[in-house]
Structure 1
Amino acid sequence: MIQLWQLIKQESLIKKFGKEMRKAIFKNPVNGEEEEYLLFGQRDWSVILPVTEDNMVVTVLQFKQGCNKIIHELPAGTADFTTESPEETARRELLEETGYQSEKMIFLGPPLWMASRNSWTRFFPFLASDCKKIKPGKLDEMELIESKLVPLKRWIEMARMEIEEPSAVVATFRALSYLKI
Structure 2
Amino acid sequence: MTDTRILFETRWIRVNQDGKWQYVQRPSSDFAVGILAITPDDEVVLVEQFRIPTGGRVIEIPAGLVGDEPDFEGESLEDTARRELLEETGYRAGKMEFLTRSPSTPGLAREFMNIFLATDLVRETDGGGTEGEDITVHHVPLAGLRQWLAEKQAAGVDVDARLPAALWLAGR
Q: TM-score range by the shorter chain?
A: 0.7 to 0.9
Identify the match of residue 11 of structure 1 among 1, 5, 15.
Answer: 5
Deviation at 1:55, TM superposition (A): 0.3
1:117-165: CA deviation from partner (whole Å, max 9, x where unpaired) = 23221000011112121223262221110101001123356679x5631
> Per the alignment, in what secondary structure is the counterpart of residue 163 of structure 2?
helix
Please provide the CA RMSD for this pair.
2.2
Matched with 2:23 is: 39
Residue matched to 1:28 = none
Question: Is contact 1:23-1:38 (8 Å) kept?
Answer: yes
Are 1:63 and 2:50 counterparts?
yes
Q: Structure 2: any 5+ residue segments left out of the alignment?
A: none
Distance across 1 between alignment mates of 2:161 and 2:9: 25
Distance 1:149 1:159 in 2: 12
Q: Does 2:98 correspond to 1:107?
A: yes
Higher relative contact order (Cα pairs below 8 Å, separated by 6+ residues) = 2
Deviation, 1:14, is: 1.3
Which secondary structure state, in structure 2, belongs to the residue aligned with residue 155 of structure 1? helix
* 8 Å CA contact retained: 1:99, 1:133: yes
Deviations 1:90-120 (A, max 9, x none): 10000011111111111002x1001222322
Question: Percent of aligned positions with the same letter in both sequences?
Answer: 30
Question: Number of residues paired by the alignment?
Answer: 160
| Structure 2 Cα separation of the partners of residues 68 and 59 of structure 1 | 19
1:74 aligns with 2:61: yes
Residue number in structure 1 paired with 2:125: 135
TM-score scaled to structure 2, two decimals? 0.83
SS of the equivalent of 1:103 reads strand
Question: Which TM-score applies when normalising by structure 1?
Answer: 0.80
Distance 1:40 1:73, change over 3 A: same
Matched residue of 2:131: which SS? coil
Contact 2:63 2:81 in 1 (8 A): yes
CA distance in 1, matches of 2:131, 2:108: 30
Match in the other structure for 2:17: 23
Q: 1:149 aligns with which of 115, 127, 139?
A: 139
> Conserved in 1, the CA contact under 8 Å of 2:43 and 2:139?
yes
> For residue 84 of structure 1, what is the aligned residue in structure 2?
75
